[in-house]
Structure 1
């Protein structure tokens, strides 16, 4: 960013803020001046429309005369004139969200610098409950999508806050608010450090999400069950897988974890949770007497399952299942990422490094928590 400041002659933070304002004015102004072109065919078509369709449990939606019309049959959607929005992501939306994420991360680094936080490893651990919270909140969405489970409690438009990808912004804003509150408590000497209240707020929002899911079980909501044996098997399996990986690293290649230390173990464990949750959820639910096996929710999971099923003979699959390679992939990938974070990186840019480590853990532990709780609550 220093290079950018030197070339442009503008403070990096001001450059970031100016870029944000220009982009915001372009979207808002363009939507007002050219609603059909900018809003209907771009903003709504690729970003907001898919969320609306998902929130209303429809097949698709069309934008006609400035109004949204929902369709509940594939044939009607195929015959409709563009713009037509379907649930899920498109190439345009994925690129848009990726650019937004990278831009937001730069802004977060600036904010961390302003608040003078994020240089110590305690910052990483203080954010740990929020990573569980993100996955738990996704299960709230899954439970809300279960027919008859929670339709009267979370309905449109409030349910858009827990629908992908809006849910990621929801979790981000809640976490950001918690950071600001925790730092304020520290600055006013209410607490001795910001990490403790930050961790505490994370525990509270996580507990609230879990309490909601448990309330669905207690009230007998249709489509929601409780299988504690699944939770135990997944946590024990993930811990054993992470411990074995950690032992191999310490025994044969300790240089892999020379930079991250204990954080490396947490990252490997977080990704092990994701791997084991997929293996158990996709292949062993019936064996655990926990209802039918789940279906993959992500393309990568589906690819691994399809590849294994097409490669191994049926006699082997009957014993091993077809999702187990996903655990190996997660462990190898997590180990490689831990190896990348050598000790020098922490010294050169500690705040950005901590933020990247949080992101690395979040992309494993977040989906892993979701898959684990999905299987535990049968949604």
Structure 2
């Protein structure tokens, strides 16, 4: 059965095509400025440096050079790309995420699925899987890159790992719908969750194998126990508190909103535990360091404005946890009944995306500490 293309789909395809054409055309016509100064500097360069375990990569007129020390990076001629995110790249990925979600809405319309919040729960294993897969790459770095060599390791490095997990999840969704419509199961949620659980289990089993057979990967379950336990207590407190004092916050999402708050609590708690208490809990390299511009900025502001006598006792990463809880609660409040009734599929996908950008990085930080990488 074929479906006619809608005006919305044509507009989306034209917009995506125009953006791709502008980037490709600009990169060809103005190679150093558009590709080197923008695409490479903010998007591919950080991945390239991270994939090779370098401190940074210098553009060097189109022949990138990997540098191994902060001194070399500081003296290199711009543009210089550092592993991780920048504010420019985070905005770029956010826009890309919204555009891709719009495309998935069209797919869900074609499949006539995705309007129920059960989809969020079915996709939970994939969010844990994304964090676990990123830790597989961390382990690969710790072992000298022998297991997953370049360029294949690029696909499990942030941010490309988000696209890897995204396409795996979309493929699993299509397969799960096919299974359900062949009457092998009553719905597509269970096979979708089962596929996600299987790839998550495989990633954790591999990390467990490395912990048992190498001296570069360890097993420190206290980080996972504390992160999940504290995040659960905080999420329940926030959700129940909203029910008691501002019930309109939870009207549009119900239990799904509690899961979103919990996912971001995991991100915040994993940062507090890893950054402030890593050494005390046995992390072999001392305290972890912030990996994203936002939590790095929060830590810097805390160190600048909160007396050292206080941060010496309670740490300096707790501000990020508070920010995550407030932001997640605010976003949940925005999901009112009107938004859900107007476009339920897009509303559900937005909830999935909001949860993923918290739970994915949070799982990565939690498991990185758990396996001492």
- After superposition, the Cα gap between the structure-2 partners of 1:64 and 1:349, relative to the gap in structure 1 and judged at 3 Å, is same
CA deviation after TM superposition for structure 1 residue 229, in Å: 1.8
| Residue 174 of structure 1: aligned partner | 168
C-alpha distance in 2, partners of 1:347/1:64? 53
CA deviation after TM superposition for structure 1 residue 79, in Å: 6.0
Does the aligned pair in 1 maintain the 2:86–2:293 contact within 8 Å?
no
For residue 299 of structure 2, give the secondary structure of its aligned residue in structure 1: helix
C-alpha distance in 2, partners of 1:55/1:286? 27
| Residue 212 of structure 1: aligned partner | 206
Q: 1:190 aligns with which of 184, 198, 213?
A: 184
For residue 66 of structure 2, give the secondary structure of its aligned residue in structure 1: strand
| Residue 163 of structure 1: aligned partner | 157
Q: Which moved more, 1:94-103 or 1:242-251?
A: 94-103
Deviations 1:253-289 (A, max 9, x none): 2222122111121112111111211121122233334
Instruction: Answer yes or no: is 1:308 the counterpart of 2:302.
Output: yes
C-alpha distance in 1, partners of 2:293/2:260? 22
C-alpha distance in 2, partners of 1:144/1:172? 22
For residue 187 of structure 2, give the secondary structure of its aligned residue in structure 1: coil
Does the aligned pair in 2 maintain the 1:126–1:199 contact within 8 Å?
yes
Q: Which moved more, 1:323-332 or 1:132-141?
A: 323-332
- After superposition, the Cα gap between the structure-2 partners of 1:274 and 1:81, relative to the gap in structure 1 and judged at 3 Å, is closer
**Matched residue count:** 368
Does the aligned pair in 2 maintain the 1:227–1:376 contact within 8 Å?
yes
| Residue 226 of structure 1: aligned partner | 219
Deviations 1:10-52 (A, max 9, x none): 7111222233344445555665677666655554344323322
Question: Which blocks of at least 5 consecutive residues in structure 2 are unaligned?
Answer: none
Deviations 1:274-320 (A, max 9, x none): 12111211222333344422122222222333333344444433432
C-alpha distance in 1, partners of 2:356/2:170? 15
C-alpha distance in 2, partners of 1:33/1:319? 55
C-alpha distance in 2, partners of 1:310/1:21? 45
CA deviation after TM superposition for structure 1 residue 135, in Å: 1.4
C-alpha distance in 1, partners of 2:231/2:297? 22
Q: Which moved more, 1:108-117 or 1:58-67?
A: 58-67
CA deviation after TM superposition for structure 1 residue 137, in Å: 1.7
Instruction: Answer yes or no: is 1:57 the counterpart of 2:50.
Output: no
Does the aligned pair in 2 maintain the 1:281–1:375 contact within 8 Å?
yes
| Residue 323 of structure 2: aligned partner | 329
Q: TM-score, normalised by structure 1?
A: 0.87
CA deviation after TM superposition for structure 1 residue 154, in Å: 1.2
CA deviation after TM superposition for structure 1 residue 171, in Å: 1.1
C-alpha distance in 2, partners of 1:60/1:145? 15
- After superposition, the Cα gap between the structure-2 partners of 1:104 and 1:294, relative to the gap in structure 1 and judged at 3 Å, is same
Deviations 1:154-208 (A, max 9, x none): 1111110111211111111111111111111122222221111111111011112
Instruction: Answer yes or no: is 1:296 the counterpart of 2:305.
Output: no
| Residue 272 of structure 2: aligned partner | 279
- After superposition, the Cα gap between the structure-2 partners of 1:251 and 1:71, relative to the gap in structure 1 and judged at 3 Å, is closer
Question: Which blocks of at least 5 consecutive residues in structure 1 are unaligned?
Answer: 1-8
For residue 137 of structure 2, give the secondary structure of its aligned residue in structure 1: helix
| Residue 372 of structure 1: aligned partner | 366
| Residue 249 of structure 1: aligned partner | 242
C-alpha distance in 2, partners of 1:73/1:289? 27
Does the aligned pair in 2 maintain the 1:178–1:198 contact within 8 Å?
yes
Q: Which moved more, 1:67-76 or 1:312-321?
A: 67-76
Q: 2:260 aligns with which of 263, 267, 271?
A: 267
C-alpha distance in 1, partners of 2:305/2:69? 36
C-alpha distance in 2, partners of 1:214/1:363? 25
Does the aligned pair in 1 maintain the 2:84–2:292 contact within 8 Å?
no
Instruction: Answer yes or no: is 1:362 the counterpart of 2:349.
Output: no
Does the aligned pair in 2 maintain the 1:129–1:206 contact within 8 Å?
yes
Q: 1:47 aligns with which of 43, 50, 58?
A: 43
Q: TM-score, normalised by structure 2?
A: 0.88
Structure whose alpha-carbon radius of gyration is higher: 1
Where do 1:341-352 residues align within 5 Å? 341-352=335-346
C-alpha distance in 2, partners of 1:52/1:202? 28
| Residue 6 of structure 1: aligned partner | none
